[in-house]
Structure 1
């Protein structure tokens, strides 16, 4: 099974570098990483290419448009989605692979997330 990871980005090169580093240290590496440049004015696309990701562009600003372009560009049997500021654990892709391998009827999964830097009502809502 091929697993593609899609990461939309808009002017977040520093955070994207951290996300891509976390993907490089996976116990089961993704087969493809697609970074969607959503009109970046910084060096996000260069950071992505330097990390071995394929970069596609989406001119229409916004997460829905950028994500859809990434999904359309991905070649994997399974598409995993991260934000540029995500830091998946080292077995994230392996757990995705395992879930879909063990249950051939599975069509989607989701997991918990931890939002760093939020406090008060924003932290409770997240």
Structure 2
């Protein structure tokens, strides 16, 4: 079984070597460059990753471009910033491969106090509680490491192209009657500053995107 791993990327040249060198056998990385001004594309190409360029800025735009470019039956998503260990991908993809789950998420377990700022963790707790109420799934994190079948994901018709993309995926999957699961994965301090939780502007933008997705799905 070969699995495509979609890695949305914006200026991650420092993190990509660690991430790509830890990719398990059978997992093919697709690095989706979303306007990097550093050497991310050069680094990814040099390490054997397939590179897709998505000029439309936005986390969801990068994720969806990778989804459309993927060719494997099963796809996984994860951040390219070294906050998640690719060696944990089999934990997330395994239940999908076995046919036991339709959408599997990695529940982030911080291994350092620096991995997850308190304000971001508190916001995630509230978001996860909302997801449990809305979907009935036992979710405690809106984890960026996740896996599902490619064709079925495309059929969900995801529209958000910003930070609301991961949330919309879960809400639409639940509405479609998907079996949604969660498994623990390590959460590590990322390389560099987060585009979301690392700045007030990024945090507010993500909150706004997610509120819009929730409103539109109500």
Shorter-chain TM-score: which interval?
Answer: 0.7 to 0.9
How far the C-alpha of 1:105 sits from its partner, in A, is 5.4
Structure 2: give runs of 5+ residues left out of the alignment.
125-218
For structure 1, the 5+ residue unaligned runs are none
Answering whether residue 52 of structure 2 is matched by residue 51 of structure 1, we say no
Tell me, in whole angstroms, the C-alpha distance in 1 between the residues paired with 2:94 and 2:120. 33
2:74 to 75, 78, 85: 78
Compared with structure 1, are the counterparts of its residues 8 and 89 closer, same or farther at alpha carbon in structure 2 (3 Å cutoff)?
Answer: closer
Deviation (angstroms), 1:16: 2.2
Q: How many angstroms does 1:22 deviate by?
A: 2.4
Tell me by how many angstroms 1:70 deviates.
0.4
Tell me, what secondary structure is at the counterpart of 1:19? helix
Change (3 A) 1:13 1:88: same
Q: Which residue of 2 aligns with 1:113?
A: 108
Normalising by structure 2, what TM-score?
0.49
Describe the SS at the equivalent of 2:90: helix
Q: CA deviation at 1:18?
A: 2.1
Compared CA separation, residues 118 and 93, structure 1 to 2 (3 A): closer
Q: CA RMSD in A?
A: 2.1
1:105/1:47 CA distance change after superposition, 3 Å: same
- Cα 1:101–1:36 change in 2 (3 A) is closer
Name the residue aligned to 1:12. Answer: 12
Partner of residue 21, structure 1: 21
User: Bigger radius of gyration, 1 or 2?
Assistant: 2
- The offset of 1:4, in angstroms, is 0.6
Q: Pick which of 14-23 and 68-77 moved more.
A: 14-23
1:32·1:76 contact (CA, 8 Å) conserved in 2? no
